[in-house]
Amino acid sequence: MKRLLKQEKKCYLKNNMYLEIISPEATLFAGEIESLTLPGTDGSFQLLENHAAIVSTLEAGSVKIKGNISLSETAKAQFESVSKDETLYAISSGTVEMRDNKIILLSD
């Protein structure tokens, strides 16, 4: 029983959310993250691992990505690194969908 509990704890420590940020021009980011905070039309909200399935519209603001992410050289100009594990991405509007720990963010 103790060994089973240890295995369960390990599952919660891993980054298991996968994010894709897609703009009209290109896929700007694809990779694992810890959390995502978004400017929803009804207010800011956060997505964490194992969040219920959701589709939401977004308004102008900053998307906060938590996790140690790696950006391509072409995408770096569109993101602002706040710290080694926090990055901001400014949007004018968009849509987000999360299901089964996979997030797709369509941004303008």
Residue 21 lies in a domain: yes
The one-letter code for the residue type at 82 is: V
Domain count, the chain: 1
Residue 7 lies in a domain: no
Helix (H) or strand (E) holding 11: helix 2-13
- Tell me the residue range of the domain where 56 lies: 15-107
Residue 29 lies in a domain: yes
Residue 48 lies in a domain: yes
The one-letter code for the residue type at 90 is: A
Asked if 46 and 35 count as a contact pair (C-beta separation under 8 A), the reply is yes
What is the per-residue pLDDT across 72-93, written as a single tens digit (0 to 9) for each? 998 999 999 999 999 999 999 9
Residue 10 lies in a domain: no
Confidence of residue 15 (pLDDT cuts 50, 70, 90): low
Residue 24 lies in a domain: yes
Confidence of residue 3 (pLDDT cuts 50, 70, 90): very low
pLDDT at 4: 43
Confidence of residue 17 (pLDDT cuts 50, 70, 90): very high
Confidence of residue 14 (pLDDT cuts 50, 70, 90): low
Domain containing residue 34: CATH number: 2.60.15.10
pLDDT at 65: 98
Residue 9 lies in a domain: no
pLDDT at 12 over 80: no
Q: How far is CA 58 from CA 63, 68, 96, in A?
A: 10, 24, 7
- b vs e for 54-72, b when ≥16 Cβ sit within 10 Å of the residue's Cβ? eeeebeebbbbbbbebebe
Q: How far is CA 92 from CA 7, 30, 33, 106, in A?
A: 42, 20, 22, 11
Residue 94 lies in a domain: yes
